[in-house]
Structure 1
Amino acid sequence: MAETYSHSGGSGPLNNRVWPDLDTDDLDLFVEKSAFSAFFPGRCPLPRLLEQRDIDTVVITGTVTNVCCESSARDASTLGFRVIMVADANAARRDRDHNATLHTIYRSFGDVRPTSEVLDMIEAAE
């Protein structure tokens, strides 16, 4: 199963394997993770790269809300990052699983916001 997922985005440089309609920039970071969490020590270079750039906040989006997204949010919080999980930019197989994770993150590990609020926050910070 892991092999199937590892090749589902294609091959070649990571920035060529993202969704074709997603705008990317030369300053964007692209990393691969080899665990459920992008912040689990030794399984992804993302925490180190963010720390090198003095980035202290992460915005979590993706699938599956209650697996990889929740794992990344929990580990990022444990490592001291501020976590914002985007409620309508994550997905799970069932609404109840998705909503349970949003509740858990909000109660213990970070903030939960809709996309519109996150975009407003980013715009205000620029």
Structure 2
Amino acid sequence: MARSITINPNLALLIIDMQKTFESMAKPLIPEINATIASARKANIPVIFSQHGHENPDEEESTSVLVKWWGASGSIKRGSADWQLLPGLDVGKNDPVLSEKSTYDAFHNTRLKSLLDSWNVDTLIISGVLTNLCCETTARSAFVQNYNVIFLSDGTATASDAMHQGTLKTIGFGFGQVMTCADLREKLAKIKGK
């Protein structure tokens, strides 16, 4: 059964890990995400970015399960070229960037929840990469923490279409409403703002 979330001004748009290391998957999303960012700003909806990384992956390999899984060489070092947000992504000077993010869940050990609560957000819009890792984990975490979730089907990407589609089905079944960026922008255009 499809569920529909009422679109209201108590929204926030989270763009997850649109970084150089994920360029092949993330770069094609930029036009849709930037158009969605513009619509969110017009409706006075806050936009938040996350930037995944590790201070010293070589040292963290003994303590971080995520770094163990991917290996120090497969992990993103904070401050490196791979850690940088992609050029062309519309990051505003006042947009919070969760550069402290170090695991799949953008809520874990970051300012995300405190930001959302300070803005009285009840619905989190999720976009970025990777669909089935950081985006899905954050969507599940948001749901468990009692936020409504909107998950952008063409505003997220991962390594294969099968993984992408699997996550969209899972999110739509049990965690949030899946919609296209264009559908969301159409709904945002009807919001008068806060």
**Shorter-chain TM-score range:** 0.7 to 0.9
Q: TM-score with structure 1 length normalisation? A: 0.82
Q: Distance in 1 between matches of 2:168 and 2:159?
A: 14
Alignment of 1:1-126 (within 5 A): 2=54, 3=57, 4-7=75-78, 10=81, 17-32=84-99, 33-40=101-108, 43-126=109-192
Taking the aligned partners of 1:9 and 1:55, their CA distance within structure 2 comes to: 32
| Gaps in structure 1 of 5+ consecutive residues | 12-16
TM superposition shift of 1:27:
3.6
For the residue of structure 2 that corresponds to 1:88, the secondary structure is strand
Separation of aligned partners in 2, 1:87 and 1:111: 10
Stretch deviating more after TM superposition (70-79 or 90-99): 90-99
Shift of 1:51: 0.5
Is the Cα–Cα contact under 8 Å of residues 9 and 18 in structure 1 kept in the other structure?
Answer: no
1:62 match: secondary structure: strand
Distance 1:123 1:113 in 2: 15
The CA deviation at 1:34 is: 1.7
Provide the C-alpha distance between the structure 1 equivalents of 2:85 and 2:159, rounded to a whole number of angstroms. 22
Write the distance in 1 (CA, Å) between the matches of 2:119 and 2:151.
Answer: 21
* 1:64-118 CA distance string (max 9 Å, x none): 1111110000001111111111001111111111101000100100000011011
- Answer yes or no: is the 8 Å Cα contact 1:88–1:115 preserved in 2: yes
Identity of aligned pairs, percent? Answer: 30
Which moved further from structure 2: 19-28 or 46-55?
19-28
Code of the aligned partner of 1:21: G
Report the residue type matching 1:36 in the other structure: Y
- What's the C-alpha RMSD, in Å, of the aligned pairs? 2.3
The size of the alignment, in residue pairs, is: 120
Question: Which has more radius of gyration?
Answer: 2
Specify whether residues 23 and 102 from structure 1 end up closer, same or farther in structure 2 by C-alpha distance, changes over 3 A only: same
Aligned counterparts of 1:98 and 1:37: Cα–Cα separation in 2: 17
Displacement of 1:124 in angstroms is: 1.2
Stretches of structure 2 lacking an aligned partner (at least 5 in a row): 1-52, 58-74
Bigger relative contact order, structure 1 or 2 (CA pairs below 8 A, ≥6 apart): 2
Amino acid at match of 1:22: L
